[in-house]
Amino acid sequence: MRYISTRGQAPVRDFAGVLLAGLAEDGGLYIPETWPRWSPADLRGLRGLPYCELAARVLAPFVGACIPFATLQAMCRDAYAGFGHPAVVPLVQLDANLWAQELFHGPTLAFKDVAMQLLGRMFAYVLQQQNQHVTIVGATSGDTGSAAIEACRDRPGIDVVILHPEGRTSEVQRRQMTTVHARNVANIAVAGTFDDCQDLVKAMFADVPFRRDLHLSAVNSINWARIAAQIPYYIAAALALGAPEREVAFSVPTGNFGNVLAAWAARRMGVPIARLVVASNRNDILARFLESNDMSIQGVEPSLSPSMDIQVSSNFERLLFELLDRDPAATAATMQGFRATGRMDVPRAAWTRARTLFHGFRLDDAGTEAEIRRLHGLGYLADPHTAIGIAAARALPCPHLPMVVAATAHPAKFPDAIERATGLRPALPPRLADLFDRTEIYTRAPNSLDAVEAQVRAFSLRNAA
Ligand SMILES: *Cc1c(COP(=O)(O)O)cnc(C)c1O
């Protein structure tokens, strides 16, 4: 399988190439040159497989010759063996035609583990094949950093450095990063905001000698491998609820548009998906786009669902490329216009096409709290992100079809919001029960590129020694 950039000016790469590159050199995102197709008979052949086996088979065409199938199978088994539920991504029935697919049984209790646990193993394999070493640097407001650390800890060929804004993540989120005592993991608490951390990471990548010396790499949500690794659970849910004979619908709490894009990809490959509900909090750029073709940037407002507090959904560019009939010049022009004006000019025909499948939904904090309370009354504890997805599914059902909500975080990850809504403080699962007793290890840095680069360099030199 070969991958092309949505902007058409970057080298065509194989899976290993896009895994290591992340963003394409022309600023675009990598996407398969052609989509694999699954016939109804092919899909039936996946029914009843253990999740790790299904994942390996779905990923095989994307991975191509870069990882032998037996190795890919072993990676999938190993990646999902550590999940806290035997079904890995279990479906829980909430109502007659409503299910939650719990994607949060991984080590850091958010759906990002499903892709990241596999990515860490893929990185290590590809780096070993190419006899390379990388330093992964990333900024996090919470979930991404811990998922990356858990995925990369103790893996040869990889150092990982995560910047977080000091005092601005939840205590559970910070401890999930700072209590990992692995030689190849470093946490830096930056005196600044999440945006400052992200700017520091961008500045490190823009510092060409630094980037080259340390072999900087990233595992952020624009990495194609992360999208690919999210496709199997949509297929698993659809098969469990009657596909390919029956259509299904999904509701996805959305931030960077990565998770819902994976659902779109499953549909593109032949899974009968009738509707995709894109659920947002008050940061509703996607809901405004789907409602009235208004994709315009507004300031980010903090909410109870911080992983959806975004200004620009970076993975939307991949859908845009498809909506524009895979025209890279038109995609590049649209994205450049968006950057220049803060408003994306999507042709009416493309917007209309998007609306036949995607439906937008928004819910403010008061509504989110009310939904958590309502669900608790019915016996289900949902985190704020999942609660928004469930509210969206109820508001925009697909008559007579099963609707599956992506349950993206464990309620114990957001105990304050849950306690305020229900009076109940959710307990961490047993394997994390001692999180608050573990020793934290991290360094502090001022909001200064020189200071942060000096720390990253020192860490990398120590590990190379
Ligand atoms: C990252 C995240 C999201 C948003 O996912 P995208 O792929 O960025 O749309 C939603 N909920 C939780 C809990 C997350 O961690």
401 is a domain residue: yes
CA of 41 to the centre of ligand 1 (A): 32
Is residue 202 annotated as part of the catalytic site, yes or no? no
Ligand 1 site, residue 73, Cβ cutoff 6 A: no
Residue 208's pLDDT band (cuts 50, 70, 90) = confident
Closest residue by Cα to residue 54 from 33, 30, 35, 38: 38
CA of 308 to the centre of ligand 1 (A): 6
- DSSP reduced 3-state for 242: coil
Residue 25 has pLDDT above 90, yes or no: no
pLDDT tens track for 55-80: 999 999 999 999 999 999 999 999 99
Q: Identify the active-site residue in 105, 112, 175, 318.
A: 112
Domain that holds residue 262: 87-109+226-422
280 is a domain residue: yes
Residue 22's pLDDT band (cuts 50, 70, 90) = confident
Tell the residue nearest (CA) to atom 11 of ligand 1.
408
pLDDT for 205: 86
129 is a domain residue: no
pLDDT for 170: 83
CA of 54 to the centre of ligand 1 (A): 23
418 is a domain residue: yes
* 8 A C-beta contact, residue 80 and residue 49: no
327 is a domain residue: yes
The number of distinct structural domains making up the chain is 1
Ligand 1 site, residue 103, Cβ cutoff 6 A: no
Tell the residue nearest (CA) to atom 1 of ligand 1.
307
pLDDT for 41: 98
Tell the residue nearest (CA) to atom 2 of ligand 1.
307
Angle, CA of 369, 313 and 413, to the nearest 5°: 40
CA of 286 to the centre of ligand 1 (A): 14
Closest residue by Cα to residue 319 from 116, 58, 29: 29
User: In percent, how much of the chain has pLDDT > 70?
Assistant: 100
Residue 299's pLDDT band (cuts 50, 70, 90) = confident
* 8 A C-beta contact, residue 28 and residue 7: yes
Average pLDDT of span 258-280: 98
Question: How is 155-207 classified by DSSP, letter by letter?
Answer: -TTEEEEEEEETT-S-HHHHHHHHT---TTEEEEEESS-HHHHHHHHHHHHH-
| Mean pLDDT estimate for the chain | 95
394 is a domain residue: yes
133 vs 464: CA distance, rounded Å: 10
117 is a domain residue: no
Single pTM value for the model: 0.96
| Peptide bond between residue 244 and the one before it cis (omega within 30 degrees of 0) | yes
Residue 147's pLDDT band (cuts 50, 70, 90) = very high
298 is a domain residue: yes
For residue 59, give Cα distances in angstroms to 35, 205, 406, 424: 12, 29, 20, 40
- The domain that holds 400 is classified in CATH as 3.40.50.1100
pLDDT for 199: 86
Given CA atoms 265, 267, 273, 276 in this order, what sign does their dihedral have? positive
